[in-house]
Structures are given as C-alpha cells and as structure tokens.
Amino acid sequence: MRILVAMSGGVDSSVVAGLLKEEGHEVIGVTMKLWEGDNGEMPETGCCTASDSEDARKVASLLDIPYYVLDYTSSFSRSVVNNFVSMYSQGFTPNPCIECNRSVKFDHFLDQAIKLGCEKVATGHYSKIINNKGTLELHRADFIEKDQSYVLHMLTEDKLSKVLFPLGTISKPRVRQIAAKLGLSTAFKKDSQDICFVGKGDYRKFVENRIDLHASGNIVDIDGNIVGEHKGIHEFTVGQRKGLPGGLVEPRFVLEINPSTNNVVIGKKKQLEKDSFILKEVSFVNDIYYSDLMIQIRYNSDPIPCTITELSNESLDVSLTIPTVGISPGQFGVLYSGTKLIGGGRIENKMKAKVLN
C-alpha cells in the first residue's frame, strides 16, 4: 500500500514512517510549511520549525523514502492565524492546534494523497480507529496519558477510512525505543509545546501586532463595581488569576469577558463554576449519540458526565451533572462514550451565564 506520512520532524511521526516502511508499505513523507518568518523561511522556535523540517528530511533519507515540503502558509494564515487573532480580540480563548487540524492539515493531506496516488494518510497522533461491525469509530489511545483524540474530533467516518494512527496502541517510552532501534535521530527529541506561529513569545504581543485594538476597559466585580482597568480584553482568558487587581481577602479569577463593553468580570473561584453551556459548529464522527456521555472541555482535562439536547444541526445544549470551572468560550468541548469519541464543537456561554453561589 502507498501511504503518505505527515512528518513533523518529531519522534512520533518518524516512528510511524519507520514502522510502515518495515511492514512493507510504500511510504512517502511530507512536511507542511505552515508558517514563515519575515524572511519567508520557516520559524526557528515552536513546532513546524526549519530544524523540524531538517530532522524530518534526515529521517526520510535514513529510511530511503521520498520526502517533500509543501507550502500551505496562505491557507494556514487565513484559517488559523487570523482566527486566533480575531478570537482573542473578541474575548474568546482559541485552540489553534484544533483549528489547524480542522481547517488545514487533514483536508490538505488527504488532497495531496490523492495527487500522489496514496491510498492512506498516516500521522503520529495517539488515537485509535476501530472497525465495529463495518462502522469506523474513533477511540482514545490505549495509553491514556498520551491520548490525542481530543484534537481529532472533527474527523468524520469518511475521513477515518483514509487515515491511519499507528501509535494508538503504543506507549511513548516504547515509541522512543523503536526510534532508537531504527537509528532515528529524533529518538530522544523533546516534544514541542509552543504554538508554532507564536513560538516562545507572548501571544498578547502577537495579537497586538496584528490588530489595532485601542480597547482599554474596566475590570469589574460581579455586581458591576469597577475595581481596576485593563489595556485590552485579549490579555485575559476565563479562569485567569494572574494580572488581576490585588488587595482582596480571597483570590479573584476572570469570570467573563464582555467584548461589547470591554469589561472583564472577576469574582471568586466558586463563581467560575458552571453547569451548562452551548456547543457551536458541532460535528460528529458517526451518528449523533445521546446516552452515557462525558465531555472534555480542555486538552488535558478530565471528562465530565453530561447530557445533551440538540438545538440545531450544528448546535448542542450541554448540561453537566457536576458543575465545574475552566469552561472557556472559544475552547472546544469533545463528547465521549467510554473510549469512543462521539463529536465536538466550540464552547459558547448561554445568553445569561449561570453563576452558582
């Protein structure tokens, strides 16, 4: 089988290419150039850097497989970077990695696979595809501490039929052992944690450099009393504690960001708790599913039992059985039943947020 492997320059995708080559498949490696500096070259910090591309090239050379770098900077800038800036300027907390998977990576990789005559696309994500009586389902990885299914919730069953996740049953230490055995230079390379287009910089300055904000406003308490000022709502996220006015007996947290008034509402941690919210732009892997559901509201958060009510084809009302903190508009809520991923969408507050005393 001819397989197109998305090679990021990290150990995971390197091992995927190596394993598939060992299995006798015809492997083609591809790195996406998604972001570039002022000189038109790949960045030096973050993920998807110039050094990452060079590491991927070295692995492809060692494995003796064709390797290409494909330029999708325009699509990435339009769909991911502009969205990132716009979301923060409106008081939301975006997840650019999910947006990249949703709007850029998989669509382009699948299109490129067709052009190169490949039957499948493979990536280094830790997730599993299970064939359940002819239905392809997306499941959590066996080693839950590395599970990445959350960032793949936008994949439909049709796309799953064209995708492989070879690391879904392998632990990270085992992946590094395989890489070392194959002689791959990426065997002990650290995982990147930075946003590729921000790198080690401050996302706030990144936003400021790309949009004329001039949007100072007030920091207010839950009763509307002014307790401080700020220079722009893009400097805050729901749940934030750092950078708020001090001198209070109890710590205060950002409860709400109001772009229409530029007010940032703060309060006690207990007041962060919510028991319901809306999911917009919802997609499902298979058919909609209603029973035995849990929702994950952040990449590394624990799933919470919930029930859902369908409001429209792309909108759900989510009710939590346990009120929780950390529900940030702009982030993604992803629904599971056991290990099976059902679907997900972007979190929005209801018209009037419910504050629990």
- The residue whose two tokens read 């390797």 is 67
CA distances from 322 to 270, 292, 303 (A): 13, 14, 11
* Cα–Cα distance for residue pair 231/204, rounded to 1 Å: 11
What DSSP string runs through 135-179?
Answer: EEEEEE-SSGGG--GGGGTT--HHHHTTEE-TTTT--HHHHHHHH
- Can you read off the two tokens belonging to residue 149? 């299914």
* Catalytic option among 47, 100, 118, 306: 100
Q: Find, among 21, 18, 46, the residue nearest to 198 by Cα.
A: 46
Instruction: State which amino acid sits at residue 178.
Output: I
* Catalytic option among 47, 48, 118, 196: 196
* Cα–Cα distance for residue pair 114/103, rounded to 1 Å: 18
Helix 11-22, helix 172-182: angle, nearest 10: 60
φ and ψ at 250, to 5 degrees? -105, 150
Active site residue 118: no
CA dihedral 214, 220, 225, 226 (to 10 degrees): -40
Q: Is residue 232 within a helix (H) or strand (E), and if so which, with residue range?
A: none
Alpha helices in 192-269 (DSSP H): 203-208
The DSSP output letter for 328 is: -
Q: Is residue 52 within a helix (H) or strand (E), and if so which, with residue range?
A: helix 50-63
Q: Is residue 348 within a helix (H) or strand (E), and if so which, with residue range?
A: strand 340-348
- Can you read off the two tokens belonging to residue 94? 């975006």
Active-site residues: which are they?
A: 100, 196
